[in-house]
Structure 1
Amino acid sequence: MTTRENILRAALKVIGERGVAGLSNRRIVADAGVSLGTLTYHFPSQTELLRQAMLLFAEEETAKLAAVVDAHRADDLTLEQAAALVEQVIEQLPFGTDEIAPHELYLQAARDPSLRDASERCFTAYDALAATILGALGVADPERLAGPVVALIAGLQLRRLATGAPGTPPGESLMMLIRGSGG
């Protein structure tokens, strides 16, 4: 792992534990094990640090999810099997600070327009992945349905984090959405 990645991971950890408001250079350098000069060399502003942390998270998250898709691409899954697989993947996600950090970053992007391009890139990557999966499953107009699918999954994850309870199973929720769309 490069020094830059180490700093970004430390920032994500602090954001997940304390929120964006609790992010300080002192906490980042302590977690990353680097000097303040190293931090400011790589990230001259907190906005750039937040932007790059968001992009790192999205890149890694979409790569993980794409690997799951690739592993099952030849399986010729039905919609029901794909929904069950999505549910299984969601249940295996960490339940804690690692999951909180991205939500914090998305909320910060709502407050700070300079982060919105990074946030948009994150959601564009999720939408593209969802459209690929939906298309492979034979869902009609997968690009139109991708955004609502991503929003549903993000909302269910936020609910799970906020309440500590899963609510409606994600697979069931996805099937309701897809069947209701005419897919």
Structure 2
Amino acid sequence: MLIKGSRRYNLRHNTERTEQPTFGEMINGQGRGVVSKLRYGICHMSFNGCEVIAVHNALVYLKKPHPLKDIAFYMERFRLLLGFFGCNAYSIGKALRHFGADFQRVRSTEDAKAFIVAFWTKRPFLSSIHTVFCVRCREGIMVYNRYNTCIHEEFCGTIEEIVGKRRPIAIYKIS
């Protein structure tokens, strides 16, 4: 018998869904479409799947895509409070390494062409954490999965537009 919210239960739920996210494409808007129905921890990914989606988008960017359900299954090891608070932001590097991504944990995004950044959405420890994958381009910084309901990537001029005036929790430079 599988316990609802366990790693194996979620893998079975995510595997048996008739519809999966399109393989090899970036994901935006974790609260929309097929992704919102997949499970991570005790919740649906629409609530707590941003770290899993950020790793997925980084792997797609590196042309090393993996099914989202497999990334979620691996990252279940690093969930916080049964996944209610998502994934431990300091463990994202373990998932990147496991799936063969070249990365470096850094303190600043200044020299990073592509990066994952985890940050507090409002006041530290009194709000939620959000994690996004970003690519620096001529127009600014392209942010994937910026908001729960966004359907496209969004452009921001600076990192402060993404994380606010707060210091990021963790930054992973993707090579």
What TM-score, normalized by structure 2, do the two folds share? 0.28
Greater fraction helix = 1
Q: Which has the higher strand share?
A: 2
Larger radius of gyration: 1
